[in-house]
Amino acid sequence: MIKNMEYIQKYKKIIGIIAGIIFLGALAWGFALGPSPSNNGFSLSRESLPSSWEFTGLYNTPELTANVQKNIETLKEKINEEGADVYDIYLSIAQQYALVGKGEEAYDYLLRAGRQDPGNSLTFQTMGNLMESLKAYTAAEEAYKQATIVQPQILQNHLALIGFYLGQKVDAVKIESAFAFALEKSGRATNILKEYAQWLEGQKDTAKAITVWEEVLKQVPEDRAVKDKINQLKRKLK
């Protein structure tokens, strides 16, 4: 009986050691992968995250870097103040980290901002910009798309995604789809229509571009530049 008890105790110790090793290994693996996904809210897919989190920020002198660090410390002190706008503080800290090229820290605070106010698309536009700086273009696309989903009524969200696609020279089908979604969600806003018409011109789809410009003209009938554009394109078709 005593031998059995000793065996059980030894067995428990071994299990405990193994569990500890597994826990530490998982923890190390998590650090190796970079910031973990948020437990509550949007986060970028792990496979899309950058291989390196460092980049050259706008502020890259010792003096400017020191000033940014002071700003960050000041902002962190404000988080627990009564009536503090925690979302704005998190976003500001993320932006400060981005200024000095600290991508991992910037992303971490953007995740915090996203959890604080999941419905604010500014988080995801900022995240898209950050991921572009880190050359993590799949992650940037995810972030820009999320901005259009969270607040589809904001035109700038759609224009940011479309601008990203144009800069990356993605296939026309994807750009066409982004324009269609933007026009649907914006109620066919004039600015989106203008961008779409210009893109169609670049695609040499003159007939369709004319149709879109004519729709723009119905919204702004006194715009002489739009009238001239339509006449110019119609002459091309002759």
Q: In this predicted structure, what is the pLDDT of residue 60? A: 86
Is residue 194 one of the residues assigned to a domain?
Answer: yes
Looking at 136, 151, 166, the residue that finishes a domain is: 151
| pLDDT, tens only, 144-183 | 999 999 999 999 999 999 999 999 999 999 999 999 999 9
Q: In this predicted structure, what is the pLDDT of residue 23? A: 36
Q: Verify that 169 and 137 share a domain, yes or no.
A: no
Q: Is the dihedral of CA 99, 104, 107, 112 positive or negative?
A: negative
- CB-CB contact of 148 with 157 (8 Å): yes
Is residue 21 one of the residues assigned to a domain?
Answer: no
Is residue 45 one of the residues assigned to a domain?
Answer: no
Between CA 125 and CA 83 the distance in angstroms is: 26
Residue 108 domain boundaries: 51-151
Q: Verify that 66 and 147 share a domain, yes or no.
A: yes
Is residue 160 one of the residues assigned to a domain?
Answer: yes
Between CA 207 and CA 24 the distance in angstroms is: 63
Say which CATH number the domain at 67 has.
1.25.40.10
Looking at 95, 130, 151, the residue that finishes a domain is: 151
Q: In this predicted structure, what is the pLDDT of residue 40? A: 54
Is residue 37 one of the residues assigned to a domain?
Answer: no
Q: In this predicted structure, what is the pLDDT of residue 24? A: 37
Looking at 132, 151, 170, the residue that finishes a domain is: 151
| pLDDT, tens only, 208-223 | 999 999 999 999 999 9
Is residue 129 one of the residues assigned to a domain?
Answer: yes
Between CA 43 and CA 49 the distance in angstroms is: 10
Structural domains of the chain, count: 2
Between CA 105 and CA 98 the distance in angstroms is: 8
Is residue 107 one of the residues assigned to a domain?
Answer: yes
Is residue 9 one of the residues assigned to a domain?
Answer: no
Q: Verify that 147 and 166 share a domain, yes or no.
A: no
Task: Name which of 88, 84, 106, 107 is nearest 96 in CA terms.
Answer: 106
pLDDT < 50: residue spans in the chain: 1-39
Q: In this predicted structure, what is the pLDDT of residue 38? A: 41
Q: Verify that 129 and 72 share a domain, yes or no.
A: yes
